[in-house]
Structure 1
């Protein structure tokens, strides 16, 4: 009787009462080689894999450091092999993980990360990368989160790490080619007038249409303004200014510009340097003369906020009500820097 066409083997168990005999030809003869093939991993090479594997058939390849596979039973056989990772061979496929699962090395992670590593010391490297010709890693991640970079031919010399609570630090240079946004200490803000604004026959302070910047509570800012203005008639209405700020905040300010009372004849020989300290009300003003030619004023100061956030807004008007009108020009601007 010919051997069965399949290498799978069903073992036959005779009745224990002796009423059935074991048939050597059918039950045992020439079948043990098939048992060897059906049980455990079959040794083969990458070019001699079984051509008709059954579903679940395991193999190991002697020519690839014993890469291991099992067949999912589909056809063709060449596409049915599913690789099983092992410590001997280099894994040659993509591993897929379900959402919420993780790869654990050393121990499981305390957070829902995809990869969890538990080294023995904070200075241990948990990630390192280099190109083929490198003698050392170009980039490493340490167990304490420190990042280090290098050329690949010498020890890394550039770093970024946590130096204190809520603080990242580098011991090296940092160059930013695009924008750097800072919301805390060191924040810089800028605003400019996009259109001329004219006040006529009005000496009551009003909010500027453009020069306003937001400020946070419990902070200290320095500010500077470059103001450009003209008047239809030399040094008649002139210009006065102050600010509004959040409740309980105070500001100091000083300015340099033309004197508001000496320039009645249109000369440009007198200026003034005036200041106001610890001001909490827009009632404290600085006043400057304005001529028919473009007049420039520089104003500097410091703003201290307490428990209330809000806006810091330029207010201005004519120093003396006059029908000729005073114009604050487009391009005038204000900057603020948070210093504490």
Structure 2
């Protein structure tokens, strides 16, 4: 059965608050954020949400980033205590992203003539996953995000936390107009 939140009742007064609760929450980066020489994931200043206790949300988004190939990007999440769920990120496998091999064998985490391998693993809602970088000045990459967040009995903040996977003096950058959308469904 499909879920929707809230479920208006016959004769219920339509208020601005009710209409607002039906809309998705969207967090969009309004400025680039750079992080250098750190592997400690911290909340992105733009990609955070206040979430309600007992609520269920579905999530999607696009993260555009660039950084040194030696550093890679490590994405993680913070959620209120007791939250459960899964997230999925489709993006370039981590280092080395660039290599070429004409041997007909399974090759992981390398670019081939047929394209980049992608990470498709499922992750616990607050587990980290790393993605590859091409090197600064290269072509920025993206990670497509999906997931489900089931908030426990404590309301709080849900945030995308990130850092370099391997500390490097050259910054990894998350770019303006990266975005995440949460839609409450229960």
SS of the residue 1:167 aligns to: coil
Aligned equivalents of 2:167 and 2:173: distance in 1? 13
Shift of 1:181: 3.1
- Count of residue pairs the alignment pairs up: 160
Q: Could you tell me which residue of structure 2 aligns to residue 50 of structure 1? A: none
Matching of residue 334 in structure 1 with residue 170 in structure 2: no
Matching of residue 167 in structure 1 with residue 9 in structure 2: yes
Counterpart selection for 2:129 from 286, 292, 297 = 286
Identify the structure with the greater strand proportion. Answer: 2
Aligned equivalents of 1:328 and 1:320: distance in 2? 16
Counterpart selection for 2:34 from 174, 198, 202 = 198
What is the CA deviation profile of residues 37-90 of structure 1, one whole-angstrom value per residue up to 9, with x for unaligned ones?
xxxxxxxxxxxxxxxxxxxxxxxxxxxxxxxxxxxxxxxxxxxxxxxxxxxxxx
Q: Could you tell me which residue of structure 1 aligns to residue 120 of structure 2? A: 274
Query: Please, what is the CA RMSD of the aligned residues?
Result: 2.3
Q: Could you tell me which residue of structure 1 aligns to residue 20 of structure 2? A: 182
Shift of 1:242: 1.2
SS of the residue 1:182 aligns to: helix
Q: Could you tell me which residue of structure 2 aligns to residue 242 of structure 1? A: 76
> Contact 1:262 / 1:270 at 8 angstroms: preserved in 2?
no
Aligned equivalents of 1:339 and 1:298: distance in 2? 21
Matching of residue 318 in structure 1 with residue 164 in structure 2: yes
When residues 169 and 182 of structure 1 are mapped into structure 2, their CA distance, relative to the original with a 3 A threshold, is farther
Larger Rg: 1
Q: Could you tell me which residue of structure 2 aligns to residue 38 of structure 1? A: none
Matching of residue 307 in structure 1 with residue 150 in structure 2: no
When residues 224 and 212 of structure 1 are mapped into structure 2, their CA distance, relative to the original with a 3 A threshold, is same
When residues 263 and 312 of structure 1 are mapped into structure 2, their CA distance, relative to the original with a 3 A threshold, is same
Matching of residue 223 in structure 1 with residue 55 in structure 2: no
Question: So what's the TM-score if we normalise by structure 2?
Answer: 0.77
Shift of 1:328: 0.4
Question: So what's the TM-score if we normalise by structure 1?
Answer: 0.44
> Contact 1:256 / 1:271 at 8 angstroms: preserved in 2?
no
When residues 192 and 262 of structure 1 are mapped into structure 2, their CA distance, relative to the original with a 3 A threshold, is same
Shift of 1:331: 0.7
What is the CA deviation profile of residues 3-59 of structure 1, one whole-angstrom value per residue up to 9, with x for unaligned ones?
xxxxxxxxxxxxxxxxxxxxxxxxxxxxxxxxxxxxxxxxxxxxxxxxxxxxxxxxx
Aligned equivalents of 1:263 and 1:166: distance in 2? 49
Q: Could you tell me which residue of structure 2 aligns to residue 210 of structure 1? A: 46
User: Which structure would you say has the larger RCO, counting Cα contacts within 8 Å and 6 or more residues apart?
Assistant: 2
